[in-house]
């Protein structure tokens, strides 16, 4: 399958470099140079992955990500300078799946792209084993890739789905942030506590009756997360 990747950065040299890296691996690349162009490109192309910079004119990467998430579950990787950790955290809060810090190298970029696309295509695949997991109000069908709470379909991103699937398949088992990242993101974990806590927060908001006092997705102080229930 020829994946279409939207690359958005106001620095044209960076877009060109990323385009060269991605095309060398057989990906199709659509280029944009501000958030508004990215939204427009999304309307006119079948996009499988978005790589978007934080700091841009007209519409920055954070606001663009927020708007994209209102309509789409397409994987989004945020580009951020090392000094912009807060921006990365905000990006995750509004629905980005991962981030890459500048400066980055081609190997790191391509590894992130491959693992993100692998998760996305696994979420959409209908050829996985037929498994249905139910815990209380929550049901996860790993064949149709649908999650429901109180029989209402819940819209999850690929990473949120991966975390929930991991926890539901291993009910009661505690997973550290590093373990969750390594199993769901399929790459080594470095400083990922914030990434996982944001995704857990999103899951609670979508699945729990009271996200601040969750009945199912529990934190185990100093150890990680688990899912409990009948």
- Domain segments of the chain as ranges: 4-124, 132-227
Q: pLDDT tens across 65-95, in order?
A: 999 988 888 899 998 876 656 666 777 788 8
* Confidence at residue 87, expressed as pLDDT on a 0 to 100 scale: 66
Q: Give me the pLDDT at residue 88, please.
A: 64
For residue range 38-52, list pLDDT tens digits in order: 999 999 999 999 999
CA distance 123 to 107: 25
Q: Is the pTM of this model over 0.75?
A: no
Structure tokens at 146: 């649908």
pLDDT of 55 reads 86
Under-70 pLDDT residues of the chain? 1, 82-88, 122-130
pLDDT at 126: 35
97-114 core/surface letters (b: 16 or more CB in 10 A; e: else) = bbbbeeeeeeeebbebbe
Which helix (H) or strand (E) segment is 31 a member of? Answer: strand 28-32
Q: What is the pLDDT of residue 178?
A: 94
Distance CA 109, CA 140 (A): 31
Specify the pLDDT at position 125: 43
Asked if residue 162 lies in contact with residue 200, where contact means CB atoms within 8 angstroms, the answer is no
pLDDT of res. 124: 58
Strand partners for 152: 149
Strand order in the sheet with 152-154: 132-135, 138-141, 146-149, 152-154
Please state, as a whole number, how many other Cβ atoms lie within 10 Å of the Cβ of residue 151.
7
So what's the architecture of 132-227 in CATH? Orthogonal Bundle (1.10)
Dist CA 186 CA 55 (whole Å): 28
Does the structural domain 4-124 have CATH classification 1.20.1740.10?
A: no
Q: Give the tokens for residue 226.
A: 């688990």
Phi, psi of 58 (to 5 degrees): 70, -60
């Amino acid at each position: 399958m020829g994946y279409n990747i939207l690359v958005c950065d106001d620095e044209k040299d960076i877009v060109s470099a990323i385009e060269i890296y991605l095309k060398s691996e057989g990906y199709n690349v659509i280029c944009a140079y501000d958030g508004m162009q990215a939204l427009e490109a999304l309307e006119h192309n079948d996009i499988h992955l978005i790589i978007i910079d934080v700091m841009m004119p007209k519409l920055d990467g954070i606001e663009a990500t927020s708007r994209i998430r209102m309509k789409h579950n397409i994987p989004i990787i945020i580009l951020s300078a090392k000094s912009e950790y807060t921006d990365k955290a905000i990006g995750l809060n509004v629905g980005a799946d991962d981030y890459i810090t500048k400066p980055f190298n081609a190997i790191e970029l391509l590894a992130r792209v491959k693992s993100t696309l692998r998760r996305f295509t696994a979420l959409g695949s209908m050829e996985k084993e037929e498994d249905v997991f139910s815990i209380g109000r929550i049901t996860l069908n790993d064949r149709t890739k649908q999650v429901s709470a109180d029989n209402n379909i819940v819209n999850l991103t690929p990473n949120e789905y991966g975390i929930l699937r991991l926890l539901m398949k291993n009910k009661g088992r505690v997973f550290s942030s590093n373990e969750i990242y390594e199993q769901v993101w399929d790459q080594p974990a470095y400083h990922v506590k914030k990434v996982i806590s944001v995704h857990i927060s999103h899951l609670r908001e979508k699945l729990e009756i009271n996200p601040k006092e969750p009945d199912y997705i529990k934190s185990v102080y100093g150890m990680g997360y688990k899912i409990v229930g009948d």
